[in-house]
């Protein structure tokens, strides 16, 4: 069961802390700043990954470049269709509706889980 539901998009989480982190997508909060360049991140693990770019060699190991980047939050995607789905988090667009109760969701998989 996923008792913690995001009031903005309907996504549900098992742990309250995961909901708190997720809500930063909607608020734009980025509490973790890189001490080298000042770039900010919503989760600490993203900061740690980013900090490797400042290390000698400056490369992210085992990462492919992500050509599709969200203009709102900077999240990268390998294909444009993934970026299009992600953008619904920012726009609030909910294309998928539960046929039983009428609740709307941004992704069809969320209707199925609901």
pLDDT digits (tens, 9 = 90+) for 82-112: 888 888 888 888 888 999 999 988 888 888 8
The CA-CA-CA angle for residues 44, 49, 92, to 5°, reads 60
Model confidence at 63: pLDDT above 60: no
pLDDT over 70, % of the chain: 91
Q: Which residues have CB under 8 Å from 94's CB, separation 6+? A: 9, 10, 88, 104, 105, 106
68-113: what fold? Double Stranded RNA Binding Domain (3.30.160)
Query: For position 100, what pLDDT does the model report?
Result: 93
Domain 21-61 CATH superfamily: Classic Zinc Finger (3.30.160.60)
């Amino acid at each position: 069961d996923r008792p913690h539901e995001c009031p903005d998009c309907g996504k549900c989480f098992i742990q309250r802390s995961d909901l708190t982190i997720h809500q930063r997508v909607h608020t734009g909060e980025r509490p973790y700043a890189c001490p080298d360049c000042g770039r900010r991140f919503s989760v600490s693990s993203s900061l740690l990954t980013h900090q490797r770019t400042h290390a000698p060699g400056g490369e992210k190991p085992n990462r492919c470049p992500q050509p599709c980047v969200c203009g709102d939050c900077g999240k990268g995607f390998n294909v444009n269709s993934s970026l299009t789905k992600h953008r619904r988090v920012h726009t609030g667009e909910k294309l998928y509706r539960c046929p039983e109760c009428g609740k709307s969701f941004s992704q069809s998989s969320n209707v199925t889980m609901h």
